[in-house]
Amino acid sequence: MKGIDFYLESNRDLWDRLVPIHARSRFYDVDGFRHGDSTLMQLEREEVGDVRDKTLLHLQCHFGLDTLSWGRQGARVTGADFSPAAIDLARALSAELAVPARFLCTNLFDLPAMLADRFDIIFTSYGVLCWLPDLDKWADVVAHFLNPGGFFYIAEGHPLVSVFANESDTKGLQVTGSYFHSPEPTRWKTDVSYADPLTPVNLPSFEWTHSLADILNALIRAGLCVDFFHEFPFSFYQHFPFLVKGGDGYWHLPQGDLIPMTFSLKATKP
């Protein structure tokens, strides 16, 4: 059995490898962002609301496009990620585009040791929780950095989708995995990235499954009060090969709204 440090270091190597692939991909469209596009989807823009003059911490920010998008909307932004390659690119984009931002390179669980600030908003989104071995520690970090009256917001893939096969030749919803958390991560062979199916990656990833109960109870135990929890019948990317992209920009099951594929949650620190 490998240790947590091995899993996290392996995942960091993977994300360092993914940064240049993602930076030139149509999925992330960095050139569009350079010309003023926002990478924030309608869902989080509406549910987070007005961020002008608010301090905002973006956890697991990758190379900072969402962080900088919030900065363009008037927030005073800080982004944190464990990938040195991602943070280097985020800092370069901030300087190039003259969008003020602070970016910190650190494992999420080590962030309290290097950052003394507190924030009005903590934001994280899409494909983040599966990389975290311990949601209680994660929720404690969230609570630690929030000002009293501040809120945490997450939009994320629904954990239910993890029980279904999503190989490239999958024809429909087929249950192949467990919904419930296991202390040991699942090892996946990452042949290519979701953002670029043509560029080989060929590195392993180690991912943890967390149920909705794991997520909600971790935040409640950390002392946060849940303001809302929403479920949506669409995915933010083509998680299954048979999904169809709708006019709303999200990916849907062709046979209709059968299962939740995305959730959002807002929780406030008393």
pLDDT for position 181: 85
How many other C-beta atoms lie within 10 A of the C-beta of residue 172?
Answer: 11
Integer-rounded Cα Rg, in Å, for the chain is 18
Instruction: Evaluate whether 236 touches 256 at the Cβ level (below 8 Å).
Output: no
Q: How do residues 160-202 score in pLDDT, each as one tens digit? A: 999 998 887 888 899 998 999 888 999 998 888 999 988 999 9
The pTM for the full model equals 0.96
pLDDT for position 245: 95
User: Reduced to 3 states, what is the DSSP secondary structure of residue 207?
Assistant: strand
CA atoms of 170 and 92, how far apart (whole Å):
39
CA atoms of 105 and 68, how far apart (whole Å):
16
Domain count, the chain: 1
Average pLDDT (73-102) is 98
Q: How do residues 113-138 score in pLDDT, each as one tens digit? A: 999 999 999 999 999 999 999 999 99
Q: Containing domain of residue 231, as a range? A: 4-268
Return the CATH number at 258.
3.40.50.150
DSSP E strand boundaries for the chain: 55-59, 76-81, 101-105, 119-125, 146-157, 186-193, 196-207, 225-232, 244-245, 251-252, 262-268
